[in-house]
Amino acid sequence: MFDRTIVLKIDGMTCGNCAQHVTDELEALEHVDNVVVTLDAKGTSTVTAYVSAPVEDDALREAIEEAGDYTLLAIERDF
């Protein structure tokens, strides 16, 4: 069950492969149950992570860095 969401604003994602790399890295984190990417190839993409418990900002940043050459602009939480 998804109790919480974390919304990430990311620059540099330009295609479906980028979205898949980010999804794979985030879903590998503990407590991340599902990831939905709204890709904007010419601007800032939105990534929503559905989580069952809090996930640290540093873990999110590291996952984005591992995924590729993307810039994490913002982290927004609903909790």
- The C-alpha atoms of residue 31 and residue 53 are separated, in whole angstroms, by 6
Q: For residue 26, what is the domain's CATH number?
A: 3.30.70.100
Span 10-59, pLDDT tens digits: 999 999 999 999 999 999 999 999 999 999 989 999 999 999 999 999 99
CB atoms near residue 76 (< 10 Å): 11
Taking 70 as the threshold, does the pLDDT of residue 1 lie above it? no
The domain total for the chain is: 1
pTM for the model: 0.93
Ranges of beta strands (E only) in the chain are 4-11, 32-38, 44-51, 71-77
**Domain that includes residue 32, residue range:** 4-77
Given this model, what pLDDT does residue 79 score? 76
Nearest CA-CA partner of 22 in 62, 63, 76: 63
